Structure 1
Amino acid sequence: MLSLVYSSLLAICIYAVWIVRRRSRGLPLPPGPTRYPIVGNAFQMPRQYEYFTFAEWRRQWGDYIYLKVFGLDLLVLNSYTAAKELLERRGGHFSDRPQFIVAGELVGWNKLTAISPYDDHFKNQRRLLSRTIGGKNAEKFWPVEERERRKFLLQLFEEPENLMELIRRLEGTVILNISHGYSVEKNNDPFVVLAEKCMDNFSTATTYGAFLVDVIPALRFIPEWLPGGGFKRIAREYGMNLHATVEMPWNYVKKEMAAGKARSSFTSQLLTSAEEDEELVKTTAFSLFSGGSDTAVASLILFFLLMVLYPDKQAKAQEEIDALTGGQYLPTLHDRSKLPYTEALMLEVLRWRPIADVNVGFPHRCMTEDVFEGYRIPEGTLCLPNIWAMCHDPEYYSDPSEFKPERFMKDPPELDPRNLVFGFGRRCICPGRSLADSSVWLTVALVLATCNISKGLDENGNEVDPVVKFSSSTICRAEDFKYTIKPRSEKVVQLVKESQLDYNVL
């Protein structure tokens, strides 16, 4: 009797799904530019700075725009409302990643968290990351954060002309300490250099349209020596870089553990427990390392640029910090709640120029056909949240092009940009957002407490306005600009030297 009931229920469910799909077939696709036979919108797609073009199209086509590029269905989400509805409330339908032929299949990035399929391997990686650095778990890494960022201040006093390299070294050593217990002691460290090259490869390989084979998958079968087959040579080079970047820190931990002198880290803790598969630990550790370095570097470079551009905001935050510390100690993460303007300034850095302007390199893939506001979203559609458009939406931000930390001091404050810049949905929101958030805030507070940042000088000693220009890739980074960085006083230099405490990492 029960089997008959179950069979009947199953038949009813199948019939219901069939009815829904049949009805959805008659619904229109979302609005968007006119599509042409075969190529669709291929020749209308912007070559760079896609977020500007998509934001402009919003005026004509609305909050979401449907595009067809050869055989690919794309849905650009220009509004927070649309992204939240589809990518969060309906996250079960939009939790997969697209199939990257070069970055995924040929290079091997599909084994790592960023673009891996929504399968058990991915879920296990997320579980390890959440257990280690998610939420309150990130607080156990505050000591290494504070120790290394205070070292950074001394290096900045000594080598202000090497700002970009010092930031890369800082983020490399913090995340490598956490992921593998490795300490970076000099510029151009081989682990950091290799990782940077690997992340540049990743940024290129996951930028939509970089390789035609990702648009026309059948091209994967052409030989490397034929015209158009050069992507295979590039993929082989990228794959070698990826392999070395994964294996080098992993082998370092194994060697240190065998010698009985490994520092406590994400990798050593999980290997010691012997509860997890080694390959899973290896790929997850690299996902932590790679995901935590590049974005933090871009955020901090942007902070320094903005302090050159807006000295009045810098001075206001410094006044707040001085009022709290009295110049007697350096701010710590425990002071965060007492420094609301510094917090607001950090949030405005995240909003003003989001590091991932459009998640073109990290789109969500619609796993089953869906219907949204009367429009049909085909199965396999890639959803691209336009983070830049959302961060500059006048519905949520007054004078969105202006750099105004005060917007987050209002009652109520404007939309917290962390709801946007760390991604959407169950699989795509950054698992290390708590760690990233605290690390950026701490660097901002320490630098403001100890440094004055101003315009650079030309050969005649005249101030030079910085050139504001950004790269057009998966990770948006400010390009080189002129600046001057000096300690605020001899007293702060001495304070930084005296604060070099011997923290325990974990």
Structure 2
Amino acid sequence: MSFTTVDILLALLACFALYKLLPDRKYSLPPGPKGWPVIGNAFDMPKTHAWRTFAEWGKKWGPIMSIKVLGTPFIIISDPEIADELLGKTGSLYADRPTVQMALLTGWDRALSGARYNARFREYRKLIGKVIGTKGSMVKFYSVEDYQANMFLKRIFQNPEDPAAATRKTAGAMVLHLTYGYRISEDRPDPFVTKVESAMEQFSEIHRTGAYLVEIIPILKYLPAWFPFAEFKRKAAECIGPCNEMADIPFDYVKEQLNKGEENNSFAADLLKDKSISSEKLADLKWSAASFYAAGSDTTVSVVYSYLMAAVLYPEVQRKAQAEVDSVVGRDRLPSFQDRDSLPYIDALVKELYRWLPIVPLAVPHRAMKDDLFRGYYIPKDSLVFVNVWHFLHDPTVYKSPSTFNPERFLGPNPEPSPIDRGLFGYGRRVCPGVHLADVSVWINIVKAVAGIEVSPAMNDQGQVKMPLPETTDGIIVRPIPFECVVKPRSEHLLHVLDEALKDGENVN
């Protein structure tokens, strides 16, 4: 068989095209475990608490490593400097999110946390930033925050057998009040709080890394719900209603109040005061409010519940925190935001709560929007980038005895790094826009808990102490696993002080 000049030229042209289209072979993906043909490392993906497995992989394969799942590279980062450089200093290159199939199937793709990097995402950020984008913008919400934190004490004393319920109810009440101007029912389970709790549990569940096969094999989403391998489809169907209700019902409440001319100074009301908004913009307003609401409620629940656990496991921390509050504030009033600068141990306590059991231990993955070369490694377009925040905050080379709860690590002339500076609230253009809301909500609830509550271990029927296990649930947003403890007012006088404070805050809007 002979070749003509044309054949040879065509062959050379084809080789050149392949050379240009294929990645430069001088560069390769970051190191990682060898996978199987086609499926890659699909069966290596952890089913629960993935951050612990990723931390072990990081020890073996390095601070930036990779695996492949059905052809999609997963870049796993175990070094905060690399995370800062890759995600914080590359503009919009890694600002996108991957398509979460379960979010698409349930409607949760409309929430800010999972929104693609597009015009809608930028609109959400703009709307949220307009109301709570700075520390100064939170000042107008201080009275609501203070009132609801006082109500937390009342709720926990009314039902001391279940402090977790009071914590959840308060977080929901606070964010409903701030977001929609809605005051919850105190004498019965509130329907709004119940709906958001259910929706947020489902949100965390559907975003669990590696939990659903449809995330690895997206074509499975076309299976009918009755198919034997389509449990995920049935789970998704359960989530659609709660997802819609969480956004629709409280937003409709605000619109109804404004139409009646009633006073409402909430986040959603501020956005709705523009009467010329289009239906498309209205949908953006609704989902920016829902995103604001969803993120704020879960953060507060997780951190306050962590404090109750820490107070049981480390009673000396509780004593030191109470001593500081008593010395600065006294016992004839409850602490307020005006006391914050005078309470350094409380600030250190909050930082340690963030570090000890981080709220989002694996962060929400980023997506590479185009091919990139980073430190000699090739990162293809559509790679998913996972940041192991849990490892950052439990690295023994940075935090002494990282499993030990110790607020004093953040005090003195050489404090350890603040968790907020190590990815706690995200990176780059995906930094949580509600970080200032989280800051004030968590601080005021923690300082009120320190001032008002005495926390001690529960006892079993044999009179033995029941100590909690310092571990969290699984999912994208985590909480301490359920535990028992004994809570009571620090004194009878405290109850009188609380009653007076609640009377003063009854008319807060």
> TM-score over 0.5 for the alignment?
yes
Q: 1:365-404 alignment to 2 at 5 Å?
A: 365-404=367-406
Between 1:375-384 and 1:389-398, the stretch displaced more is 389-398
SS across alignment from 1:380: coil
- Cα distance change, pair 178–275 in 1 and its aligned pair in 2 (3 A): farther
Q: Is the 8 A contact 1:75 1:382 kept in 2?
A: yes
Q: In structure 2, what residue type is equivalent to 1:161? A: E
SS across alignment from 1:478: coil
Choose from 401, 414, 417 the match for 2:416: 414
SS across alignment from 1:273: coil
Q: Is the 8 A contact 1:453 1:485 kept in 2?
A: yes
- Cα distance change, pair 98–23 in 1 and its aligned pair in 2 (3 A): closer
Q: Is the 8 A contact 1:204 1:473 kept in 2?
A: yes
Q: 1:23-172 alignment to 2 at 5 Å?
A: 24-103=24-103, 105-135=104-134, 136-172=136-172
1:254 aligns with 2:255: yes
Which residue of structure 1 aligns with residue 5 of structure 2? none
1:479 aligns with 2:477: no
Which residue of structure 1 aligns with residue 491 of structure 2? 489
Mapped to 2, the partners of 1:324 and 1:266 lie a distance apart of: 33
Q: Deviations over 1:30-78 (max 9, x none)?
A: 0111122111111212111111111111221111220111132101111
Choose from 336, 353, 356 the match for 1:352: 356
Q: Is the 8 A contact 2:455 2:487 kept in 1?
A: yes
Q: Deviations over 1:258-278 (max 9, x none)?
A: 222252211122212235421
Q: Is the 8 A contact 1:144 1:505 kept in 2?
A: yes
Gaps of 5+ in 2: 1-17
Q: In structure 2, what residue type is equivalent to 1:267? A: A
Q: In structure 2, what residue type is equivalent to 1:484? A: V
Mapped to 1, the partners of 2:492 and 2:405 lie a distance apart of: 31
Q: Deviations over 1:280-332 (max 9, x none)?
A: 11111111111111222111111110010000011111111111112232111
Q: In structure 2, what residue type is equivalent to 1:47? A: K
Q: Is the 8 A contact 1:144 1:503 kept in 2?
A: no
Q: In structure 2, what residue type is equivalent to 1:108? A: G
> Following TM superposition, by how much is the alpha carbon of 1:419 offset from its aligned partner in structure 2, in angstroms?
2.0
Percentage of matched positions with identical amino acids: 35
Mapped to 2, the partners of 1:323 and 1:223 lie a distance apart of: 64
> Following TM superposition, by how much is the alpha carbon of 1:396 offset from its aligned partner in structure 2, in angstroms?
2.4
Q: Is the 8 A contact 2:372 2:381 kept in 1?
A: yes
Q: Is the 8 A contact 1:144 1:504 kept in 2?
A: no
Q: Deviations over 1:2-29 (max 9, x none)?
A: xxxxxxxxxxxxxxxx999877453011
SS across alignment from 1:73: strand
> Following TM superposition, by how much is the alpha carbon of 1:99 offset from its aligned partner in structure 2, in angstroms?
0.7
Choose from 328, 343, 346 the match for 1:342: 346
Q: In structure 2, what residue type is equivalent to 1:502? A: G
SS across alignment from 2:416: coil
RMSD, aligned CA: 2.0
> Following TM superposition, by how much is the alpha carbon of 1:415 offset from its aligned partner in structure 2, in angstroms?
0.8
Q: In structure 2, what residue type is equivalent to 1:259? A: K
- Cα distance change, pair 378–436 in 1 and its aligned pair in 2 (3 A): same
Calculate the TM-score normalised by the size of structure 1.
0.92
- Cα distance change, pair 469–401 in 1 and its aligned pair in 2 (3 A): closer
Which residue of structure 2 aligns with residue 298 of structure 1? 302
Mapped to 1, the partners of 2:68 and 2:288 lie a distance apart of: 34
Which residue of structure 1 aligns with residue 15 of structure 2? none
Mapped to 1, the partners of 2:345 and 2:21 lie a distance apart of: 51
Q: Deviations over 1:434-492 (max 9, x none)?
A: 11111111111111112211111223544322244421222221122121112111121
Mapped to 2, the partners of 1:156 and 1:478 lie a distance apart of: 18
Mapped to 1, the partners of 2:507 and 2:79 lie a distance apart of: 44
Mapped to 2, the partners of 1:218 and 1:154 lie a distance apart of: 51
Q: 1:186-335 alignment to 2 at 5 Å?
A: 186=186, 187-274=188-275, 276=277, 277-335=281-339
Which residue of structure 1 aligns with residue 9 of structure 2? none
- Cα distance change, pair 151–456 in 1 and its aligned pair in 2 (3 A): same
Mapped to 1, the partners of 2:276 and 2:73 lie a distance apart of: 41
SS across alignment from 1:114: helix
Q: Is the 8 A contact 2:94 2:366 kept in 1?
A: yes
Mapped to 1, the partners of 2:23 and 2:238 lie a distance apart of: 48
Q: Is the 8 A contact 2:329 2:339 kept in 1?
A: no
Which residue of structure 1 aligns with residue 3 of structure 2? none
- Cα distance change, pair 422–164 in 1 and its aligned pair in 2 (3 A): same
Q: In structure 1, what residue type is equivalent to 2:36? A: Y
> Following TM superposition, by how much is the alpha carbon of 1:505 offset from its aligned partner in structure 2, in angstroms?
4.5
Gaps of 5+ in 1: 1-17
SS across alignment from 1:499: helix
Which residue of structure 2 aligns with residue 502 of structure 1? 505
Q: Is the 8 A contact 1:355 1:477 kept in 2?
A: yes
Q: Is the 8 A contact 1:71 1:216 kept in 2?
A: no
Between 1:234-243 and 1:142-151, the stretch displaced more is 234-243
Between 1:252-261 and 1:134-143, the stretch displaced more is 252-261
Matched residue count? 486
Which residue of structure 2 aligns with residue 6 of structure 1? none
Mapped to 1, the partners of 2:301 and 2:61 lie a distance apart of: 35
Q: Is the 8 A contact 1:264 1:505 kept in 2?
A: no
Q: Is the 8 A contact 1:24 1:371 kept in 2?
A: no
> Following TM superposition, by how much is the alpha carbon of 1:153 offset from its aligned partner in structure 2, in angstroms?
1.0
Mapped to 2, the partners of 1:395 and 1:377 lie a distance apart of: 28
Mapped to 2, the partners of 1:44 and 1:474 lie a distance apart of: 19
Q: Is the 8 A contact 2:164 2:305 kept in 1?
A: yes
Mapped to 2, the partners of 1:449 and 1:423 lie a distance apart of: 27
Which residue of structure 2 aligns with residue 12 of structure 1? none
Which residue of structure 1 aligns with residue 14 of structure 2? none
- Cα distance change, pair 159–93 in 1 and its aligned pair in 2 (3 A): same
> Following TM superposition, by how much is the alpha carbon of 1:348 offset from its aligned partner in structure 2, in angstroms?
0.4
